[in-house]
């Protein structure tokens, strides 16, 4: 289901369960690019997210997805996602600089829109990352006063902007304080319906959903007693095919796979903020393989096969619902003579999952 950005309001948790990028419908990616204007403040660790997003474009092109579907730039030119990287200097470890820099970037609040009034008045998403200071804030007792409370105040003042909270990267060498600090942020966001990009959780799990309890930001992992056991990202990369299962990209302080996972989760966040509702998505490797559409491209009528009783919906690339029919797990024919040439999506909703398939009408 798609919503206007202004009407969208709920808690969002993006973590390691949100890294199956093939589960995001193309219509949701397009809607995010149409609806979002993002400003991102970060230093080196935070660049894993945007460096991963840069490498993702060519990777997905090579896998046969719509050309440059995942493109992004400052300004959103050429149909790309509008994301201003390094929009604000520093990271949230530097208080009060990060707050002052946010307000300077946005300008005074427009009381009618709840956004800024300056050159960046179109910005409707602010996201900041940490570098290595989250556990220091925790041990000093300033995590609330220098991070959480200022974020709440910014949300209150700029009520037309979505502010994304983050956990910090992993720090094996100060593991107890690092985990405790990240959990404070996690608990606050969950309990108060905030938007959280769980950076630490994403780099604690490999793509096969194996959890590494004692890991560092470089993806090295250790035994409970402190013995070095390996590097989960390097091991996964070595046992899988580059440019098929993963892609090379810059990933400061870490392995490319870490930035891959961060990019997948970032697009999950953008799609969610852009109006996509991921409720009902199940853990399938590629849910589009569970629905057959033929012929594709379509010339006249569409034949659809789904695995079980489903509600079938036809949507355009903007996510607008065009048709709804009921299928009973067998071949169903949908008349398409009223569809203009272009790209469309079939969405099949069963009792416990949503399956999406892209098709072209000639």
State the CATH number of the domain containing residue 94. Answer: 3.40.50
pLDDT of 141 reads 98
Q: Is residue 282 part of a domain?
A: no
pLDDT at site 192: 95
Is residue 317 classed as helix, strand or coil in its secondary structure?
coil
Q: What average pLDDT does the segment 17-37 reach?
A: 92
* Residue 218 contacts residue 259 (beta carbons within 8 Å): no
Residue 360: its pLDDT value, please?
Answer: 80
Q: Are residues 331 and 258 in the same domain?
A: no
pLDDT of residue 88: 97
pLDDT at 298: 77
User: What element of type H or E holds 309?
Assistant: strand 309-316
Do 71 and 46 belong together in one domain?
Answer: yes
The closest of 345, 338, 339 to 359, measured between CA atoms, is 345
For residues 42-67, give the mean pLDDT.
Answer: 95
pLDDT of 290 above 90: no
Q: Which residues of 74-98 are buried (b: 16+ CB within 10 A; e: fewer)?
A: eebeeebbbbbbebbebbbbbbeeb
Given this model, what pLDDT does residue 10 score?
A: 64
3 state DSSP class of 45: coil
Measure the CA–CA gap between 26 and 319, rounded to whole angstroms.
9
Q: From residue 130, give the alpha-carbon distance in Å to each of 18, 200, 231, 286.
A: 20, 10, 23, 32
Residues 86 and 110 in one domain: yes
Which tokens belong to 314?
Answer: 């036809």
**Mean pLDDT taken over the chain:** 88
Say what the pLDDT of residue 6 is.
Answer: 32
Residue 318 has pLDDT above 90, yes or no: no
* 195 within a domain of the structure (yes/no): yes
Check if the beta carbon of residue 133 is closer than 8 Å to that of residue 168. Answer: yes
Q: For residue 280, tell me if it sits in a domain.
A: no
Whether residue 22 is found in the same domain as residue 69: yes
Cα–Cα nearest to 166, from 142, 134, 191 = 134
CA 276 – CA 76 distance, rounded (Å): 19
| Angle at the Cα of 225 from the Cα atoms of 221 and 228, rounded to 5 degrees | 35
pLDDT surpassing 90 at residue 154: yes
For residue 278, being part of any structural domain is answered with: no
> 213 vs 334, which has greater pLDDT?
213
Q: Is the pLDDT of residue 54 over 70?
A: yes
Q: Is the pLDDT of residue 330 over 80?
A: no
Nearest to 133 by CA among 143, 122, 123: 143
- For the chain, give me the number of helices (H) and strands (E)? 10, 16
Q: Are residues 253 and 124 in the same domain?
A: yes
CATH number (domain holding residue 293): 2.60.40.3080
Q: How confident is the model over 204-223, as pLDDT tens digits?
A: 999 988 999 999 999 999 99
Q: Is the pLDDT of residue 305 over 80?
A: no
């Amino acid at each position: 289901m798609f919503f206007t950005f202004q009407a969208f309001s709920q808690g969002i948790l993006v973590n390691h369960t949100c890294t199956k990028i093939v589960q995001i419908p193309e219509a949701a990616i397009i809607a995010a690019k149409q609806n979002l204007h993002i400003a991102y403040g970060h230093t080196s660790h935070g660049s894993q997210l945007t460096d991963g997003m840069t490498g993702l474009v060519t990777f997905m092109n090579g896998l046969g997805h719509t050309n440059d579907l995942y493109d992004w730039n400052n300004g959103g030119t050429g149909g790309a996602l509008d994301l201003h990287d390094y929009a604000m200097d520093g990271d949230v470890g530097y208080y009060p600089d990060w707050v002052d820099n946010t307000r300077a970037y946005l300008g005074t609040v427009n009381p009618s829109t709840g956004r800024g009034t300056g050159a960046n008045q179109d910005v409707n998403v602010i996201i900041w990352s940490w570098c290595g200071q989250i556990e220091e804030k925790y041990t000093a007792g300033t995590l609330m006063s220098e991070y959480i409370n200022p974020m709440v105040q910014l949300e209150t003042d700029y009520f037309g902007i979505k502010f994304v909270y983050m956990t910090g990267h992993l720090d094996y060498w100060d593991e107890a304080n690092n985990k405790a600090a990240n959990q404070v942020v996690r608990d606050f966001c969950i309990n108060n319906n905030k938007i959280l990009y769980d950076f630490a959780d994403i780099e604690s799990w490999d793509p096969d959903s194996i959890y590494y309890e004692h890991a560092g930001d470089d993806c090295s992992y250790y035994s409970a007693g402190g013995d070095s056991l390996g590097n989960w990202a390097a091991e996964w990369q070595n046992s899988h095919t580059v440019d098929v299962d993963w892609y090379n990209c810059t990933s400061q302080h870490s392995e490319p796979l870490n930035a891959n996972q961060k990019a997948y989760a970032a697009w999950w966040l953008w799609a969610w903020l852009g109006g996509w509702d991921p409720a009902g998505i199940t853990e399938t490797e590629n849910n589009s393989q569970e629905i057959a559409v033929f012929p594709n491209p379509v010339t006249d009528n569409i034949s659809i096969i789904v695995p079980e009783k489903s509600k079938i919906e036809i949507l355009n690339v903007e996510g607008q619902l065009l048709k709804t029919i009921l299928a009973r797990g067998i071949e169903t024919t949908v008349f398409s003579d009223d569809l203009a040439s272009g790209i469309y999506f079939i969405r099949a909703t069963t009792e416990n999952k949503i399956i999406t398939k892209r098709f072209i009408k000639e």
